[in-house]
Amino acid sequence: MTNGSNRRGKIVLPATEIPIAIETDVIVVGGGPSGFGAALCAARNGADTLLIERFGIPGGNITVGMMPCAGFGPIGIVHNEFWERLEKEGYLFNIKTLYPNNPLYHGSPGYYGMYGFNPDTGACIMNQMLEEAGVKLLFRTLLVDAKIQEGAGEDNIEAVIVENASGRQAIKGKIFVDATGRGDLVARAGAAFKEPGDENGCIIPPGLMWRMSGVDLDRLSDYQKNQNDPKLEKAMKKARVSGGIPDELYRPVPADTYAAGYKGHPKLDCYPTGESGELTIWQDAPHEWNLNCAQNAEDATRAEVGLRRLIIAESKFLKNHVPGFEKAWVSGIAPLLGIREGRHPIGEHILTYDDIRNQRKFPDAAIRRSTRDQLDFSGGNPKVFEFEIPYRSFLAKKVNNLLLAGEAVSFEHHALFHSMRSFGMSVQTGEVAGRAAGLSVQRNINPKELKWTEPLV
């Protein structure tokens, strides 16, 4: 078997006429958090908007990927509204309040002590918001290619080519938004991008979410406290000696980079959900696999198979060695692989981590946020940076009518990973792209002619 970079010859297909199924103003490709925000804001700014998504619900990693972390608080207009609707319907829960005695997350950074929600009902809320705004939805649809109109200076996308139950179709639009998370439309449109990975070619490992139900959290908490084993390290050491843990699980975390958090974890990496006795658990690919799941199908397959093998191994360890898991079972594995790093599109401005750490200001600032210094390994209180994302980082080079959203915004490796990887931030970048698309349609201009003067906060 060969991958895409090592093809054995070619197969020539006859020319095919592809029917135009839809013509609209704005086409958003990818229905994850950023695509949700982009489609909603484009429609609310008066543009006829179509959202294309390869799964059957919106939300991406937050819903299909079973990682419904709502965050520490609302961020931006769209995220605020989604938050309020979850709360009104009773779908939002505070993990610390719900499980006050559980030490799995107390005092831990990152996702712990956060709000969460049921991913399925959360997707239903997203559907409601999109439909109320008049967004046309096209689910179970895969992006295949893009039809380009070449220009004297920059090109324009004329249509995207998709496949679904209706066959292969062309969908024409005026403005397009890449919210795929992997830069798929950027690549199909021939826009510029950098390959995944840092300066050494190391790619942030992918992950897969899964659940265990039937966990006795009180018994687990009692063991962690009374046996002085809050991170289950004693149980892990015992299991390691007996061969109950494969080498890839529960390895010490190197302290050289924030991404090291995905290179091994010496504790159970999970959080309780709103359901009694249920835990959602992270399973991360070993860093030495160095998988390019955004561009290489064989790498993505290795991740899917390998991570499921590790999930079974971890579930057996928990059942056999950790009190509270004796009667637990694997109740779900996400059908969506969490790809943490894809292509890095090259925009009119590439935001760097130096931009963030130097708190650089931009005249076209589209978003103003804050972040901790994730490169500070002192163990103390890292500095908090107030940073801005310029509107130019949402504009793809070489293509006039292509906007970038979510992890497809023009960020270099370190800036993307340290500052962009959150539900709220992804939705807010979509809000910028959607608003820009809607305003551009209103004014009959391309997004690069739009003047952005007021940042979202």
Reported as a single tens digit per residue, the pLDDT across 41-55 is 999 999 999 999 999
Q: Enter the DSSP assignment of 18.
A: -
The amino acid sitting at 154 is E
Report which residue type is found at 374: Q
- Crossing angle between the packed helical segments 76-89 and 33-44, to the nearest 10 degrees: 100
In sequence order, what are the beta bridge partners of 404?
178
Q: What is the identity of the amino acid at 149?
A: Q
Picking from 450, 441, 446, 388, the residue whose alpha carbon sits closest to that of residue 41 is 441
Which residues does 262 contact at the CB level (< 8 Å), separation at least 6? Answer: 204, 205, 207, 284, 285, 287, 340
Q: What's the rounded Cα separation, in Å, for the pair 79 and 447?
A: 23
Q: What pLDDT is stored for residue 255 in this prediction?
A: 61
Which phi and psi (to 5°) does residue 107 adopt? Answer: 80, 5
Q: What is the pTM of this model?
A: 0.92
Give the whole-angstrom CA distance, residue 209 versus residue 31.
19
Helix intervals (H) in 90-194: 95-98, 119-132, 184-188
Low-confidence ranges of the chain (pLDDT < 50): 1, 106-113
- The token pair at 141 is 């649809």
Question: Buried (b) or exposed (e) across 333-361, using 16+ Cβ within 10 A?
Answer: bbebbbbbbbbbbbbebbbebebbbeeee
d(CA 345, CA 94) in angstroms, rounded, equals 36
Contact, 179 vs 38, CB < 8 A? yes
pLDDT at 4: 53
Distant-in-sequence, close-in-space partners of 71: CB < 8 Å, separation ≥ 6: 79, 114, 115, 422, 423, 424
Q: Rg for the chain (alpha carbons), in Å? A: 22
User: Which distant-in-sequence residues (6+ apart) come within 8 Å of 144 by Cβ?
Assistant: 161, 162, 163, 168, 188
Predicted pLDDT at 112: 39
**pLDDT for position 288:** 85
Bridge partners for 210 per DSSP: 281, 333
Are 61 and 34 spatial neighbours (Cβ–Cβ below 8 Å)? no
Token code pair at residue 63: 């819903």
Write the Ramachandran bin of 201: left for phi over 0, alpha for psi from -120 to 50, otherwise beta: left
Structural domains in the chain? 20-195+343-449 (3.50.50.60), 207-333 (no CATH)
Nearest CA to 105 out of 268, 278, 277 is that of 268
Residues 319, 215: contact at Cβ < 8 Å?
no
CA 148 to chain centre: 27
Cα(304)–Cα(301) distance, rounded to whole angstroms? 5
d(CA 54, CA 40): 18
Residues 255 and 88: their CA atoms lie apart, in Å, by 41
Give the number of other CB atoms < 10 A from CB of residue 369. 21
Looking from the CA of 454 toward its CB, the CA atoms found within 13 Å total 1
pLDDT of 262 reads: 62
How does pLDDT run across 120-129, given as a tens digit for each residue?
999 999 999 9
